[in-house]
Amino acid sequence: MIVYVGTSYLFRHLCWVPNGLCRFFQQDSYSLVVLKVDWLNRFIAYMWPYLDTAICKTVKSIAKPIIAEQIPKYKINSVEFEALTLGSLPPTFQGMKVYLTDEKELIMELSIKWAGNPNIVVAVKAFGLRATVQVVDLQVFATPRITLKPLVPTFPCFAKILVSLMEKPHVDFGLKLFGADAMSIPGLYRFAQEIIKDQVANMYLWPKTLEVQIMDPSKAMKKPVGILNVKVVRAMKLKKKDLLGGSDPYVKLKLTEDKLLTKKTTIKYKNLNPEWNEEFSMVVKDPETQALELIVYDWEQIGKHDKIGMNVVPLKDLTPEEPKVMTLDILKNMNPNDVQNEKSRGQLVVELVYKTFKDDEIPTESGDSNAVEKAPEGTPAGGGLLVVIVHEAEDVEGKHHTNPYVRLTFRGEEKKTKPVKKNRDPRWGEEFQFALEEPPTDDRLHVEVISNSSRMGLLHPKESLGYVVINLSDVVTNKRINEKYHLIDSKHGRLQIELQWRTSS
Tell me the C-alpha distance between 378 and 357, whole Å. Answer: 8
Q: What do you get for the CA distance between the two ends of the chain, in Å? A: 41
pLDDT value at position 326? Answer: 94
Residue 83's φ and ψ, nearest 5 degrees, are -150, 140
Distance (Å, rounded) from C-alpha 349 to C-alpha 35? 53
pLDDT for the residue 232: 94
Contacts of 143 (CB under 8 A, 6+ apart): 109, 110, 111, 112, 165, 166, 167, 169
* Predicted local distance difference test score (pLDDT) of residue 467: 93
- Residue 187 has a pLDDT of 54
Closest to 55 measured CA to CA, from 106, 118, 110: 118
Q: Is the CB of residue 476 less than 8 Å from the CB of residue 451? A: no
Query: What pLDDT is recorded for position 12?
Result: 38
At residue 34, the pLDDT reads 42
Q: What is the pLDDT of residue 6?
A: 37
Q: Would you state the pLDDT for residue 63?
A: 74
Determine if the peptide bond prior to 207 is cis (ω within 30°): yes
Determine the Cα–Cα distance for residues 493 and 409; give it in Å rounded to an integer.
19
Low-confidence ranges of the chain (pLDDT < 50): 1-34, 359-381
Q: What local confidence, expressed as pLDDT, does residue 16 receive?
A: 37
CA dist., res. 28 & res. 14, Å (int): 19
Give, in order, the Cα–Cα distances in Å from 133 to each of 75, 102, 184, 186, 345. 18, 46, 14, 17, 57
Residue 27 CB burial class (10 angstroms; 0-12, 13-18, ≥19): exposed
What is the model's pLDDT at position 351?
95
pLDDT of 223? 65
Residue 389 and residue 475 in contact, taking contact as beta carbons nearer than 8 Å: no
Q: Is 293 exposed, middle or buried (0-12, 13-18, 19+ CB in 10 A)?
A: middle
pLDDT 10s digits, 448-495: 999 988 765 556 678 999 999 998 988 888 888 888 898 988 888 999
Report pLDDT for 179.
52
- CA 475/CA 210 separation, integer angstroms: 43
How many Å is the Cα radius of gyration of the chain?
27
363 three-class SS: coil
